[in-house]
């Protein structure tokens, strides 16, 4: 039987699902907005609906699929399928693997979303060109994943890579005391940037961002448009975010001596080269010279598809090739 898998990227704003054949080709996909307002079971039904959608598009049955692999934005035990905490989904201590498995006879596998993306980036974008890598996704929050010696590093209790929760001061330096600290993602993610931009506007600073956004809200592409139009408020906050990200990454590379940092996520996808250049400048100032010189910073070419391809590697790891 031909080996086919379905990968689900369950994000804070969207559910992206794809059916992939044994040649690593995406042959069907579905994308719907995430709805967390009706509870966990409804969210699982939403995911199940996208799985059934790609099966219908490809004119396939459950028996034609090897496994379903799903990435979740939070702390996940891939062996039990329990989500410890996924704030952007409003989920804590919930066995999403068990819940989704009730809808299908296909084996269900669960992983952190950025871990899944890192597997896709490592094995389907860079292959043997990187050995020690940090993947950083900047979007609703900031997620990270670590590859050490060509293997995904999950940590002792599956929390490894959660850089968005690192405590820093307002300049991106590691916080000296908890009293003067904030979570990294609270000021450097899209959510953090938007919060600070709204604060600036309330204080009387002129900006076109609200006009650009309309009723849709300030999304990544709106931020990118405002930067292109040289909106002073938005440019200042995006640049500040880049400086903080670069500073944090500099400290991480001084500790870990990585060879590659890969940037991704909605914000990076919208403003890739602009943000990468500013992040690199701050990174070079913060990192120790020797490890800094041996580490390159790149933007993933896979974009939203990175976790989709990561599903292939997750299935190989847990179910064999």
pLDDT of residue 173: 81
Average pLDDT over residues 216-222: 93
pLDDT digits (tens, 9 = 90+) for 165-203: 999 987 788 777 777 899 999 999 999 999 999 999 999
Q: Where in the chain is the domain with CATH 3.30.420.40?
A: 5-113+305-319, 119-303
Rounded Cα distance between 279 and 273, Å, is: 10
Is the separation of the CB atoms in 220 and 238 below 8 Å?
Answer: no
Is the separation of the CB atoms in 53 and 31 below 8 Å?
Answer: no
Instruction: Enter the CATH code of domain 5-113+305-319.
Output: 3.30.420.40
pLDDT of residue 71: 97
pLDDT of residue 321: 61
pLDDT digits (tens, 9 = 90+) for 140-174: 889 999 999 999 999 999 999 999 999 998 778 87
| CA 96, 42, 15, 197 torsion-angle sign | negative
Rounded Cα distance between 112 and 114, Å, is: 6
Rounded Cα distance between 165 and 102, Å, is: 33
Q: Which CATH number fits domain 119-303: 3.30.420.40, 3.10.560.10, 3.30.43.10, 3.20.20.70?
A: 3.30.420.40
pLDDT at 220 over 90: yes
Is the separation of the CB atoms in 181 and 169 below 8 Å?
Answer: yes
């Amino acid at each position: 039987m031909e080996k086919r898998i379905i990968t689900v990227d369950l994000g804070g704003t969207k559910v992206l699902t794809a059916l992939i054949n044994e040649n690593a080709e995406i042959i069907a996909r579905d994308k719907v907005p995430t709805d967390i307002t009706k509870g966990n079971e409804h969210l699982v039904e939403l995911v199940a609906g996208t799985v059934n959608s790609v099966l219908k598009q490809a004119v396939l049955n459950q028996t034609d699929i090897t496994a379903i692999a799903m990435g979740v934005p939070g702390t996940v035990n891939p062996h039990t399928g329990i989500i410890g905490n996924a704030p952007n989904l409003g989920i804590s201590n919930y066995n999403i693997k068990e819940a989704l498995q009730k809808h299908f006879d296909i084996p269900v596998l669960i992983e952190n979303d950025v871990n899944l993306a890192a597997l896709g980036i490592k094995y389907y974008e860079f292959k043997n060109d990187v050995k020690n890598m940090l993947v950083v996704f900047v979007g609703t929050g900031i997620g990270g994943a670590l590859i050490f010696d060509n293997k995904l590093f999950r940590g002792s209790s599956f929390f490894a890579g959660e850089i968005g929760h690192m405590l820093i001061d307002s300049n991106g330096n590691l916080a000296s005391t908890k009293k003067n600290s904030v979570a990294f993602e609270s000021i450097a993610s899209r959510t953090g940037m938007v919060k600070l931009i709204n604060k600036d506007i309330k204080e009387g600073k002129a900006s076109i961002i609200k006009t650009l956004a309309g009723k849709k809200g300030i999304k990544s592409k709106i931020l990118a448009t405002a930067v292109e139009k040289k909106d002073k408020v938005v440019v200042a906050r995006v640049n500040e975010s880049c400086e903080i990200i670069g500073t944090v990454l500099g400290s991480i590379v001084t500790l870990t001596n990585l060879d590659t940092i890969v940037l991704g996520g909605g914000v990076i996808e919208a403003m890739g080269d602009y943000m990468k250049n500013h992040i690199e400048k701050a990174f070079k100032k913060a990192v120790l010279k020797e490890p800094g010189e041996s580490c390159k910073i790149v933007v993933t070419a896979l974009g939203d598809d990175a976790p989709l391809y990561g599903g292939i590697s997750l299935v190989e790891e847990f179910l064999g090739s």
